[in-house]
Structure 1
Amino acid sequence: MAISTARLETSVAGARELDGTDPGALSKDALLDGEAVAAAIMAAAKVVYASFAAEISLRSTGGAIGLARQEGYASAERMIGSRAGVSPAEARRLIEAGLAMLPPEPTPDPGPDPDPEDTPDPSPDDPDEGSGEGSGDGPDDDEDQDEAPLSPVGEALRAGLIGPEAASLIVQTLEGMDDETAMDVEERLVKKAFRLDIPDLRRACQREREEYDHARFLADERRRREARHLLVRQDADGMVTLTGRFDAATALPIVAWLDAQVKDSFQRRRDRELDDNRTAGQVRADALADLAQHGLDCSSMTTGVKTTVVVHVDLEDLRRGAGLVETEHLSTRLSIESLRAMLADAGVIPAVMGGPSVPLDLGRRERLFTRYQKIALARRDGGCAWCGRPPAWCDAHHILDWSKGGRTDLSNGVLLCRSCHVQLHATGWEIVVRDGQVWFIPPPDVDPSREPRLGGSARVSSGDPDLGSGARSGNAPPVSPTASRGVRASTPTRGAPTGLF
């Protein structure tokens, strides 16, 4: 497909006025405008370069006679990385993006075999027969072939709606899927790529792969389990280095316990209960040493800070023994099989949440959210609804303050880490819950149109997003000038989570 430099030329033209500008002397608005221009140039240039990278890769097949070998490089990735000044991994992403912009190869359609007796001889006098202007070999067919539609990834990349790295992630996710599933997944991921950063998009792609091929997920889980290890090295400077890699089931209780120690230490520091200037890393190191000391002498006390490992699993999945389990401390999911092994080792039975014995909406009777409400919010929001930090780092906050009449209900609650809670309120952002989804509405000085932005775990969940064709808004709730930080939704429509351990 022919390269278009129109977007690149437009972006470069807009950058001419930046020549000689000192970013340090710019106002906030001017700085962001200049950054947007530079980002547009970089994105447009990558799209152009991706087309060349793809062609270099195509011409580099064939061993010693490939283009990269001819130029003295071991592979197309090495050649592109060296010439463009990027890593081989980035070169691979550029190649995959460029390949995504190529039109699909036409599938030949032989059609029914013609009956020789019914096939007339071509007449040289008939302009519609033979090799004349109206035949299938003319230039019109070449033009039609050049205009073949691209895949959704290719169209979005070529239009500048997503970047090469996002396109590469989506392409890798689709590998091995059947055509019908790949088409649906591709459309969903392209819509998500409009509004997600690369880490969140990678999580969304991971969710799609896990949902598509459960057998492969189980095999990968077993492989990770076998690969777990912990190394202890005494360094020359007298320090000791611990280096480990753990599968999710092994790491979950470790991470949950360490997170609890860090949160407790920071909370007590804020409450002025103790003068503790340790970093989070130092708190973890001391907590691990306390735990080991406790193991050496069980009569001694550890920090005294306990925690509960919480996972979220659909009750029906638990009953049939197949499915995936969300955890509050890791982005990696577990299989039901691993969960059952953990339960057997720990001797714990899961409790069903949201039943008649556990009230999840307390109205005005209680000011603080209960433990069970926080678990339900963690299921809905996946952690901090704004930045994605683990639930263990977050607190449940009233969207409409309790002092202003806000209810202690799930529809008026949101999980936020302390940093995001302070920043959102200080900068004028509004929070809205609609149909079990959290939306953040920017102030006019950030976005004059005030398009709501989807937050919480819905950003990366598999399945169709609750969005239209727009980059961010789609079916987002409308902005009401009379609803200042108010709640314009009922409680989540899906059932409350199960799985308290």
Structure 2
Amino acid sequence: MNFPLGDLTAIVGVLGDLLAESLSMDAHRALGDEELMDAVRTAEHLGRWVDAARLTLAGEVGRRADSDFGDDRMTSRFGCGSAAELLERATLISGATARERLRQAKCITSRTTSTGGHRPAPLDRARAALAAGRLSSDALATVADVLRPIEARCTADDLALAETELVLAAVGDDTQAPCSIHELRIMATTWALYLDADGELPDEQHAERMRGVRLGRSRRGLRRFSGEVTDDVGAQLERLLDAHLNPRVQDRGPRFTGPGQSDEEDDEHILDPRTADQKRHDALGSILSAAAAAAETPTLGGAAPTLIVTVSADQLERADGVAFVDGPDGQAPVPASIARHVGCHGTIHRVTFGSDGAIKALTVTDRVFTHWQRKAVGARDAGCVIPGCRVRAAWCEVHHVIDHASGGPTDTSNGVLLCWHHHRTIETSGWDIRMGAGVPQVRPPAWVDPQRNWRCANRVLHRELERARSA
């Protein structure tokens, strides 16, 4: 990139005006499909030139901010504490973007040795391909993330060979087309395993050192959940989520259409309005509820690690009532519906306070279904009774059809299986549940069935067999 900075500024100005005029006139809407794809590829190629300029210039900023410059460091001259802060202020990008840009730029930035000699960039072949507009910043990051951690344990020749092959795979040539980022990552990982066959221990030590999970404070009813888990923990969590969310894994058997039943009543036609992220969240809620009730789970204070929700009697029955859950910063307010959800399948402790705040009485109401009752209800329902839901019995909660507070017994004739999501939203989702001759029946909301007809709950194999015989 041997051109004056003034020329670069002028080029960007002219190109920016042309692009802004073209996009403002909606010229792209008149393009045919093939022309649109050509335009997408052209814009991406243009973006690679821009990325190359960004990283090259960011690398020079990082070099001049190095401690080798002493008091003449660029950051000192501009009153910034780091190169990332300088980039952030100059470009108005986020701090995270500035740090990532500097991290990638280190791979393509050459250095001057203490004797005045020239030291090439760590990934000099990738730098050349990037400068030529052929290598994307994503491809650069993929190669760097795999090769840089092992460079101290490999010879320079081996690393150069791996870098050459990976860059060639990413940009392609006359004999082969460029590979995707996914394919490039697999190839890079393969090279790393080949060059650093004994490198598992350092990686394992890094994973053990960096692992962690963080729970943030409650804000508007949500708490930020973040962190990094080891590969085995991540894989186990993925398997559990897949067990909840994969309909192929959870298919309960063949489907039959019985007498008087139309195809429109098929469970498969009932759409789930939740996003994929929301489904994973609700599956995690089911997993945590099941884990808390498991016999193998360690106890807290002699009891299972139970979610504690407190609510006053007058707030409990209100649609806009407020309850409180225990959190790291004390009690956090939540809707009273959460208290009703928890109380439906848990033990209730009713505490009576005097006017001075002293405890006057404590009444414990155990409304938890026994192990054998859960087994029986699970055998009958096989899973969540809401049609279309695929959550299996082992991950469901037992719901009182007639609320315990209204006189509903904790008995199999009054209990049905609901997944964490449907149990928590049963009051607001529009689904109604009743028992008919000991068998649960459900009534869909109007958006599912405008007639709101009562129907059998989610289909179970032995009941389907009877329908097939009747048909």
TM-score (ref. length: structure 1): 0.41
Judging by fraction of residues, say which structure has more strand: 2
Judging by fraction of residues, say which structure has more helix: 2
TM-score (ref. length: structure 2): 0.44
Higher relative contact order (CA 8 A, sep 6+): 1
Structure with max Cα Rg: 2
